[in-house]
């Protein structure tokens, strides 16, 4: 793979932090930036709400499935070449979505876009863990979450204004530019961070070992249930804000900005707590905050007090919990087996995106555009996360693993 190395990398030992932020954000950016454009996309292409929401659901499927590939591949061949391949796919597929003449091509290109974008999700996080201890990784991942949350926070606001004042395709073209810039920066600035032993390529062996570990399952499932149940809200939010709460399109992105402030707040708390409390304790505290936010959202819906203020406030509290849970859960997951950091990051991401996909499917099929299914998903998921952690802690003690 000598042709993938540039002279600029010969003196560089670590990946630039901002580049890791960009790589990690690309996969989720492809989902966040187009959300305000979904109603306009449906109108322009003459498709239903449920059909246009497929661009989110199938995107999540691609993110989930792709992460199972990238983890073991990067453990075997290294982070850098696999990242370059993934970012190339993301950029080319982004161009296809921006130019798609039919709904079928748009949806198909979105799947390819997600498969390419999830390379950054898996391997950006793995690169952070490559040279850090579990506790130090939790702090670094929290800092990554804080910084990264700014990008998808701003993206929906930008997407809303682009949709309202330029064109509904403008958000899709923005992803082309972001993908191309990140690909070029990766080529020029990203060194290889995986310097450990590289065994034979084996998908089944590494994943089989991980799913048998109560420690890994506790962190991965306990984190995924909280951090990606929010995708069910994202799929329904444009229609809740516009159709039920009668808000203009350009304001939807601003509401997302407020919610992502909650993510940044939670990640900041995780960064400060990472060296003071155990990972499992931090994750339990985070899940309790999410439960409180979900309860407030459910009460507002059941009592007829749903408004922009109650929706944003309750969901912001939920997102504080989700933002705090993410670095604790990820650090615990990728530390379960130091010889399979890439595979653990990929499987953790698969759990995240797979559950996010399930949440969006439930929202789309139960009662599209309504609030109650979303509230059930958020509250049920955050409660289930606590139950999973208790189960894993019990089974971890009986199998001499520590959660």
What was the pLDDT predicted at 146? 66
Question: In the Cβ-directed half-sphere of 297, how many Cα atoms lie within 13 Å?
Answer: 30
Helices (H), 78-169: 79-99, 103-130, 134-165
Nearest to 278 by CA among 134, 126, 397: 134
What was the pLDDT predicted at 284? 87
Q: In whole angstroms, what is the distance from residue 297 CA to residue 209 CA?
A: 38
What was the pLDDT predicted at 36? 84
Chain centre to alpha carbon of residue 306:
27
Q: In whole angstroms, what is the distance from residue 236 CA to residue 245 CA?
A: 12
Encoded tokens for 101: 């003449």
Which CATH number is correct for 13-193+202-398, 3.90.700.10, 3.40.640.10, 1.10.3720.10, 1.20.1250.20?
Answer: 1.20.1250.20
Q: In whole angstroms, what is the distance from residue 328 CA to residue 138 CA?
A: 6
> Residue 37 — φ and ψ, nearest 5°?
-90, -5
Q: In whole angstroms, what is the distance from residue 282 CA to residue 294 CA?
A: 19
What was the pLDDT predicted at 367? 78
- Cβ neighbors of 71 (< 8 A, separation 6 or more) are 122, 126, 206, 340, 342, 343, 344, 345, 346, 347, 349
Helices (H), 303-371: 308-334, 341-366
Q: What is the pLDDT along the chain (403 residues), one digit of tens a residue?
A: 444 555 555 555 567 778 888 888 888 888 878 888 888 888 888 888 778 878 887 887 887 788 788 877 877 777 788 889 999 999 999 999 999 999 889 999 999 999 998 888 778 777 776 655 555 666 666 667 666 666 666 777 788 889 888 998 999 999 999 999 999 998 888 877 766 555 555 666 667 778 888 888 888 888 888 888 888 888 788 888 888 888 887 777 778 778 878 888 888 888 788 778 887 888 889 999 999 999 999 999 999 898 999 999 999 999 999 888 888 887 778 777 766 777 787 788 788 777 887 888 888 788 777 789 999 999 999 999 888 888 876 665 544 454 5
What was the pLDDT predicted at 108? 92
What was the pLDDT predicted at 323? 86
Give the residue extent of every domain in the chain: 13-193+202-398
């Amino acid at each position: 793979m000598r042709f993938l190395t540039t002279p600029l990398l010969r003196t560089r030992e670590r990946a630039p932090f901002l580049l890791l932020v960009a790589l990690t954000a690309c996969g989720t950016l492809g989902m966040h930036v187009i959300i305000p454009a979904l109603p306009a996309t449906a109108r322009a292409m003459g498709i239903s709400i449920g059909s246009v929401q497929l661009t989110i659901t199938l995107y999540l499927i691609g993110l989930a499935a792709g992460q199972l590939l990238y983890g073991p591949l990067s453990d075997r061949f290294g982070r850098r070449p696999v990242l370059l391949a993934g970012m190339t796919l993301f950029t080319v597929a982004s161009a296809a979505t921006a130019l798609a003449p039919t709904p079928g091509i748009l949806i198909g290109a979105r799947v390819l876009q997600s498969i390419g974008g999830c390379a950054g999700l898996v391997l950006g996080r793995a690169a952070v863990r490559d040279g850090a201890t579990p506790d130090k990784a939790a702090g670094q991942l929290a800092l990554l979450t804080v910084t990264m949350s700014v990008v998808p926070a701003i993206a929906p606001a930008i997407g809303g204004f682009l949709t309202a004042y330029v064109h509904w395709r403008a958000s899709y073209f923005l992803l082309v530019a972001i993908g191309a810039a990140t690909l070029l920066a990766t080529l020029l600035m990203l060194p290889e961070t995986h310097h450990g032993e590289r065994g034979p390529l084996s998908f089944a062996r590494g994943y089989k070992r991980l799913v048998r570990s109560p420690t890994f399952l506790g962190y991965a499932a306990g984190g995924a249930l909280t951090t990606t149940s929010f995708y069910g809200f994202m799929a329904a939010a444009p229609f809740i804000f516009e159709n039920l709460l009668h808000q203009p399109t350009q304001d939807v992105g601003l509401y997302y900005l407020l919610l992502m402030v909650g993510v940044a707040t939670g990640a900041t708390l995780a960064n400060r707590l990472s060296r003071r409390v155990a990972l499992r304790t931090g994750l339990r505290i985070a899940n309790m905050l999410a439960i409180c936010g979900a309860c407030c959202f459910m009460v507002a819906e059941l009592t007829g007090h749903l408004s922009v203020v109650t929706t944003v406030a309750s969901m912001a509290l939920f997102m504080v919990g989700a933002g705090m849970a993410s670095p604790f859960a990820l650090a615990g997951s990728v530390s379960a087996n130091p010889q399979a950091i890439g595979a653990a990051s990929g499987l953790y991401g698969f759990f995240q995106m797979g559950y996010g996909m399930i949440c969006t499917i439930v929202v789309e099929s139960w009662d599209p555009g309504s609030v109650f299914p979303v509230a059930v998903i958020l509250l049920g998921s955050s409660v289930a996360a606590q139950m999973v952690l208790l189960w894993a802690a019990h089974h971890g003690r009986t199998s001499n693993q520590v959660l």
